[in-house]
Structure 1
Amino acid sequence: MFILVAYDIYTDTKSGQKRLRRVAQACQRVGQRVQKSVFECTLDEVRYAGLVRTLSRIMDKSEDNIRIYCLGEQRPRNILQLGRSPAVNFEDPLIF
């Protein structure tokens, strides 16, 4: 399934800064950063459940906000990209 992860982590404390790094690292392991706190991911059910479990353990539920949008089984074709060059689509063949 194609998902979008967006987060807002309270970073006024050292523990908040550490949580921010850990959330970003967890998202980078399974997806691609498209903005500072937004990741696109293509995951199966098992990896999706693992990501939700990991993020739930990292976050402080009284201070942080993480949103996960499930956008369907495939990457939507109607994504409009404005501004800097679009992110790499890892579903397409990579040619070096």
Structure 2
Amino acid sequence: MDRQFYIISYDIGDPKRLQRVHKFLKDYGKPVQKSVFECWLTERELESVVSWLADFIKRTEDRVRIYRLCRNCLQNVEFTGPVYFAEEPPEELIL
């Protein structure tokens, strides 16, 4: 299963929708700031996230951005503060 690294950021107008988006994204990645998640996603997982967000958010009030970073790009990210990335989940074993 090939996973890609994504950064998902959002600005949600309604506090209840904001909390629901945050809770939903916790199933897919790690929150690294209040409205920013780092996620290792398969193509199928990305499609699920995009579909759910498209159905849930209010396009006139909310904004969501999804950035894909290649593995080489991760080496060029600069930090201030504690340095860590969401860890790539281990490959799933099907027996």
Q: TM-score, normalised by structure 2?
A: 0.79
Partner Cα distance (1:48, 1:74) in 2: 20
Partner Cα distance (1:92, 1:78) in 2: 21
Q: How does 1:24-39 map to 2 (within 5 A)?
A: 24-39=22-37
* CA shift in 2, pair 1:5/1:17, >3 Å: same
Aligned residues: 87
Gap runs ≥5 in structure 1: 11-15
Give 2:79's match in structure 1, choosing from 67, 78, 81.
Answer: 81
Q: Cα RMSD between the aligned structures?
A: 2.1
User: Do 1:5 and 1:38's aligned partners in 2 also have CA atoms closer than 8 Å?
Assistant: yes
User: Residue in 2 aligned with 1:6?
Assistant: 9
Give 1:65's match in structure 2, choosing from 59, 63, 66.
Answer: 63
Q: TM-score, normalised by structure 1?
A: 0.79
Listed one character per residue, the Cα deviations across residues 22-59 of structure 1 (whole Å, up to 9, x for unaligned) are 11112111011111101111100000000001111221
Q: Which amino acid aligns with 1:77?
A: Q
Partner Cα distance (2:41, 2:88) in 1: 12
Gap runs ≥5 in structure 2: 91-95
Shift of 1:18: 1.2
Listed one character per residue, the Cα deviations across residues 61-85 of structure 1 (whole Å, up to 9, x for unaligned) are 11000011111257712222202x2
Given the alignment of the two structures, is residue 44 of structure 1 paired with residue 42 of structure 2, yes or no? yes
